[in-house]
Amino acid sequence: ATCRRGTMVKAKTTKAPTKRKNALKFTIDCSHPVDDGIMDAASFEKFLTDKIKVGGKTGNLGNLVSVSRDKAKVLVSSDTALSKRYLKYLSKKYLKKQQLRDWLHVIANNKSSYELRYYNIADQDAEEDED
């Protein structure tokens, strides 16, 4: 309690924040490049497993983050804070490492998933033909 101008002010009692279980699930759909044989979903899964940081450390996934694969889709589920943007960053990093960044880009196709798509170069070819 603090005293201000002769009146007693009751100190605020703070409740301990309740830790909620925020099971986040993200998917990264690699079906286009995997079907064409220019990318391997298993190596992408391993890359994410090796590179995702938990508590500022790589290789520290524990039980908090799990990376799995369903054919050409890589599924990332997390019980701790993990942003979708971070997965996009890692996906772009993987594409750069595999030298696929010139042909593929990472597109959000809904609130909890990304998709690896080819750049749409057919439109550019059509525009060049018109000139």
pTM for this model (two decimals):
0.75
The CA-atom distances, in angstroms, between 8 and each of 2, 12, 14 are 6, 12, 18
Whole-number percent of the chain with pLDDT over 90: 69
Predicted pLDDT at 121? 74
Instruction: For residue 27, name the pLDDT band (cuts at 50, 70, 90).
Output: very high
What H or E segment, with its residue span, contains residue 85?
helix 84-97
Kindly give the residue spans of alpha helices, DSSP state H, lying in the chain. Answer: 31-36, 41-51, 84-97, 121-130
Give the list of residues 6+ apart from residue 23 with CB closer than 8 angstroms, or none. Answer: 77, 78, 79
The closest alpha carbon to 95, from 75, 67, 110, 115, belongs to 115
Query: How far apart (Å, rounded) are the C-alpha atoms in residues 75 and 67?
Result: 6
Query: How far apart (Å, rounded) are the C-alpha atoms in residues 18 and 116?
Result: 37
